[in-house]
């Protein structure tokens, strides 16, 4: 059985520095203009490709602009507009119920604290961190998505599979200045080089043939 190698802190920091440098222009990937747009887009994006979410939201954001608009939406009408995303019926319910709470408790404004965001249906820590960072510039934690989970394991940044534990581990040694962007850096690297099925390790800035061969390639059985 292959052994899992966890990087020591120094090498983990070096790996992150190199990836941050390589993907310095990476940024959040869903389209939005307002905090309420972002909340809705983030709920829709769960287990749905970004391209699909971004293809649905322009029409949606034209029709519904405020938390009140969503709170008063007819579930069938909202479901129809988002029918290209997965679990659209449940997501429509989450959006309507989350927006009812926002109207009743927060005067129609998306709240600005982790605790309050986590009370909203359809919002977990990843979404809450995403909203705080991208809507308000508040960096409280690291959004852990599927790319962060996969690449953290491969690179040896975390042995955990639970997103909350991975977030704790990463926060222990990722420089705070990188917290707001590390998710998008790892995603950019995953899309371009550390691809899901067969990573292109030969072209990786922390791969075996590079000047900084840091990555232990945990779980990689085949690479290009």
Residues making contact with ligand SF4 (CB under 6 A): 154-155, 193-194, 199-201, 204, 206-207, 215, 217, 220, 223
Least distance (Å) between residue 123 CB and ligand SF4: 30
Least distance (Å) between residue 196 CB and ligand SF4: 10
Least distance (Å) between residue 79 CB and ligand SF4: 39
| CB closer to ligand SF4, 83 vs 203 | 203
Least distance (Å) between residue 156 CB and ligand SF4: 9
Least distance (Å) between residue 191 CB and ligand SF4: 12
| CB closer to ligand SF4, 96 vs 193 | 193
Rounded-to-5 percentages of helix, strand, coil across the chain:
55, 0, 45
Angle value at C-alpha 152, between 147 and 154, nearest 5 degrees: 100
| CB closer to ligand SF4, 125 vs 187 | 187
| CB closer to ligand SF4, 96 vs 155 | 155
Query: Which residue reads 């949606």 in tokens?
Result: 60
Residues whose CB falls within 8 Å of the CB of residue 196, separated by 6 or more in sequence, listed in order: 150, 190
| CB closer to ligand SF4, 17 vs 69 | 17
Query: What is the DSSP track for 124-157?
Result: -HHHHHHHHHHHH----S----HHHHHHHHHHTS
Provide the 10 A C-beta neighbour count for residue 153.
19
Provide the 10 A C-beta neighbour count for residue 173.
14
For residues 60 and 70, give the distance between their C-alpha atoms in angstroms, rounded to a whole number.
10
């Amino acid at each position: 059985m292959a052994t899992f190698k966890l990087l020591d802190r120094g090498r983990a920091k070096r790996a992150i520095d190199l990836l941050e440098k390589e993907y310095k222009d990476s940024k959040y990937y869903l389209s939005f203009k307002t905090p309420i747009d972002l909340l809705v887009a983030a709920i829709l994006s769960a287990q749905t490709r970004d391209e699909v979410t971004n293809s649905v939201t322009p029409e949606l954001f034209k029709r519904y602009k405020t938390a009140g608009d969503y709170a008063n939406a007819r579930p069938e009408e909202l479901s129809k507009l988002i029918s290209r995303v997965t679990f659209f019926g449940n997501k429509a319910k989450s959006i309507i119920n989350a927006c009812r709470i926002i109207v009743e408790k927060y005067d129609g404004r998306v709240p600005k604290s982790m605790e309050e965001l986590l009370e909203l249906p359809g919002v977990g820590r990843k979404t809450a961190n995403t909203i705080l960072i991208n809507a308000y510039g508040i960096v409280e934690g690291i959004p852990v998505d599927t790319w962060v989970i996969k690449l953290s394991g491969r690179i040896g940044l975390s042995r955990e599979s639970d997103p909350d534990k991975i977030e704790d581990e990463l926060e222990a040694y990722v420089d705070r200045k990188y917290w707001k962007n590390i998710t998008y850096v790892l995603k950019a690297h995953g899309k371009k080089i550390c691809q899901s099925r067969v990573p292109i390790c030969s072209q990786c800035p922390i791969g075996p043939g590079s000047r900084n061969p840091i990555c232990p390639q945990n779980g990689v059985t085949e690479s290009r």
